[in-house]
Amino acid sequence: IGKDLQRKCLAVLSPSTLPKVFCYLFISAVLTAGVVALSIVLSVRQEKVVSEPSLYAACPKSWIGFGNKCFHFSEDTRNWTFSQTFCASLESNLAQFETVEELNFLKRYKGPSDHWIGLSRESAQDIWKWTDNTEYTLSFGIRGVGECAYLNDNGISSARIYTDRKWICSKPNTYVSSCR
């Protein structure tokens, strides 16, 4: 066994295979250097990505996000006019919605209480308008003969402007936070 091993070692080190050995060593060295260089580049790039602040849209504290809007559900009860003024002080309006999904979210999240929303009209014969003065064009019926709309468990109803209820404010989801 010893002589067989000695013959193999001499065959590897023989002059005809010496250039092959150097070639294999050179290729191994180049590949190793490439792997090390790639590892360094990726780790530096990863550190750079982590260290830069990223921006994300979020709602202000105590507001709830749904879709591209933020909603604030009051705990207090007041009339429709006070409710709209309160929302305006938060740079928002009484809630507006455009889809059945938004309406269902508001109905589900409001709990058992009725909440004012941003629909009103001059009299029972006039058309409903949002607080931004656009006409109400959705197919959700509004019950009652009042001037101001509120959300209840059955959908949308109306009442007189002086009735006290909770309210919902809404605004676009444009509040931006920085995260590291």
Q: Tell me what the mean pLDDT of segment 137-141 comes to.
A: 83
CA 77, CA 165: separation in Å to the nearest integer? Answer: 4
Regarding pTM above 0.85, the answer is no
Task: Indicate if the pLDDT at residue 12 is higher than 50.
Answer: yes
Contact indicator for 160, 146 with CB cutoff of 8 Å:
yes
Strand, coil or helix: what is 121? coil
Q: Angle CA(145)–CA(147)–CA(148) in degrees, nearest 5?
A: 110
Q: How far apart are CA 136 and CA 59, in angstroms?
A: 26
Question: Taking a C-beta distance cutoff of 8 angstroms, is the pair 91, 171 a contact?
Answer: yes
pLDDT at position 156: 94
Check: CB of residue 149 under 8 Å from CB of residue 142: yes
Q: Which of 25-39, 98-112, 166-180 has the highest mean pLDDT?
A: 98-112
CA-wise closest residue to 157 among 147, 166, 167: 147
- Euclidean distance between CA atoms 144 and 124, whole angstroms: 9
Q: Which domains, and CATH codes, for the chain? A: 64-172 (3.10.100.10)
